[in-house]
């Protein structure tokens, strides 16, 4: 999980113990070369317990928490029985300081997926006062409002922005011709990431455009819809799907393109967006992210879906000089929004995690 990986890398003086599955999300095959059900050294300040499916239980988790006796229990997500609901309960029983990162799961667009089931669960948790002892971690004021709207205004919610990847490659120059555009999309192939919206916006473009898609596809029906749109795109539009992208290759793929295309339905952060800006690459994104007013700063476009084709056409028509200006704008925006507040945000995390 990129948010967690960046946090661990940014706080080398803190010791982290990560309890997780020994499989990737939605996968059934265990990671290769990993010893399950024991603590494995991951880095100088991090150990990971890769729990096998048959060993996942409340008793296993309670035993590990008792053995570690952490200063703080940091829980990622809301709905998972094994990795959220049990830890919340165990943390209360052990009188641990417990912080829950909602990770955008209580935003309106996220609640719109399987809404009845989520409504019943969240109502039950409120009735039990299950989160009375918990501090919620929101990454923006908007997310704080979402959390308190769903779980109650009396909830203790602290706002600490996500941290970007600790090390960024220096922005690289790239040639740009009028009427030629190379785009990249890095993220899940899923409705919430807006893959289909991006493909549909390409259909009306007259420029020579190439889109490289990187990401895991968990929704076969949705991917089939995407393939139907791709098959009907005009000959001047080329789409290549490359499958999942290792984390350490993301920066290189972003640097090799003119812009990131990610019109997602909602992001509480959007790590690929931030990394694209860090590479000095403009972004084409939706209005539903923390990154706003990009066009005014020549850093990209945060638009409603109906305006996405216009943004694509404007970018495709740019010559080298104008495009370079927008690359500088993206890098300047990254400097202002990510680099300058980085140390202050680190200190805020240390305050959040104080025992």
pLDDT tens digit string along 119-160?
A: 999 999 999 899 999 999 999 999 999 999 999 999 999 999
User: What percentage of the chain reaches a pLDDT higher than 90?
Assistant: 84
322-352 core/surface letters (b: 16 or more CB in 10 A; e: else) = ebeebbebbbebbeebbeeeeeeeeeebeeb
Report the alpha-carbon angle 59-60-62, nearest 5: 65
- For the chain, give every domain's residue range: 2-165+343-352, 180-339
- pTM for this prediction: 0.88
pLDDT tens digit string along 59-111?
A: 999 999 999 999 999 999 999 999 999 999 999 999 999 999 999 999 888 88
Question: N- to C-terminal Cα distance for the chain?
Answer: 24
What's the whole-number mean pLDDT along residues 222-247? 95
pLDDT at 332 over 70: yes
Residues 6+ apart with CB under 8 A from 149: 106
In degrees and rounded to multiples of 5, residue 73 shows phi and psi of -100, 115
What's the whole-number mean pLDDT along residues 252-276? 93
pLDDT at 27 over 80: no
Residues 6+ apart with CB under 8 A from 134: 88, 91, 98, 99, 100, 155, 156
Q: Are 349 and 215 in contact (CB under 8 A)?
A: no
Domain 180-339, what fold?
A: Rossmann fold (3.40.50)
Domain 2-165+343-352, what fold?
A: Rossmann fold (3.40.50)
Give the mean pLDDT of the chain: 94
What's the whole-number mean pLDDT along residues 215-228? 93
The pLDDT of residue 1 is 84
Same fold, 2-165+343-352 and 180-339: yes
Give the span between the Cα atoms of 164 and 53, in whole angstroms: 31
pLDDT tens digit string along 156-213?
A: 999 999 998 766 667 789 999 999 999 999 999 989 899 999 999 999 999 999 999 9
* Poorest-pLDDT segment among 160-174, 226-240, 308-322: 160-174
pLDDT at 306 over 90: yes
Q: Across the chain, which distance is largest between two alpha carbons, in Å?
A: 63
The pLDDT of residue 314 is 98
Helix (H) or strand (E) holding 34: none
pLDDT at 25 over 90: no
């Amino acid at each position: 999980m990129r948010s967690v990986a960046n946090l661990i890398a940014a706080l080398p003086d803190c010791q982290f113990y990560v309890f997780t599955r020994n499989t990737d999300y939605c996968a059934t095959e265990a990671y290769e070369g990993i010893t399950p059900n024991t603590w494995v050294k991951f880095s100088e300040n991090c150990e990971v317990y890769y729990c096998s499916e048959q060993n996942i239980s409340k008793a296993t988790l309670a035993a590990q928490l008792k053995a570690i006796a952490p200063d703080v229990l940091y829980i990622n997500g809301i709905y998972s029985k094994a990795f959220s609901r049990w830890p919340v309960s165990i943390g209360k029983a052990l009188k641990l300081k417990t912080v829950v990162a909602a990770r955008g799961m209580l935003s309106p667009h996220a609640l719109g997926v399987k809404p009845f089931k989520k409504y019943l669960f969240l109502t039950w948790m409120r009735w039990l006062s299950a989160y009375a002892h918990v501090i919620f971690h929101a990454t923006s004021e908007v997310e704080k409002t979402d959390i308190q709207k769903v779980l109650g205004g009396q909830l203790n919610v602290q706002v600490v922005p996500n941290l970007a990847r600790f090390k960024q490659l220096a922005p690289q120059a790239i040639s740009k011709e009028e009427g030629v555009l190379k785009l990249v999309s890095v993220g899940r192939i899923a409705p919430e990431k807006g893959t289909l919206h991006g493909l549909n916006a390409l259909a009306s473009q007259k420029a020579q455009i190439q889109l490289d898609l990187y990401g895991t596809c968990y929704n076969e029906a949705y991917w089939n819809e995407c393939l139907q749109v791709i098959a009907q795109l005009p000959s001047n539009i080329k789409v290549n799907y490359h499958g999942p992208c290792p984390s350490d290759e993301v920066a290189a793929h972003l640097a090799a393109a003119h812009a990131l295309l990610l019109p997602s339905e909602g992001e509480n952060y959007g790590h690929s967006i931030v990394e694209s800006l860090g590479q000095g690459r403009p972004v084409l994104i939706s209005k539903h992210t923390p990154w706003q007013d990009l066009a005014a700063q020549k850093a990209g476009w945060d638009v409603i879906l109906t305006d996405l084709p216009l943004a694509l056409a404007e970018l495709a028509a740019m010559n080298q000089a104008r495009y370079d200006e927008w690359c500088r704008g993206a890098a300047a925006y990254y400097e202002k929004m990510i680099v300058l507040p980085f140390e202050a945000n680190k200190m805020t995390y240390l305050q959040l995690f104080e025992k």
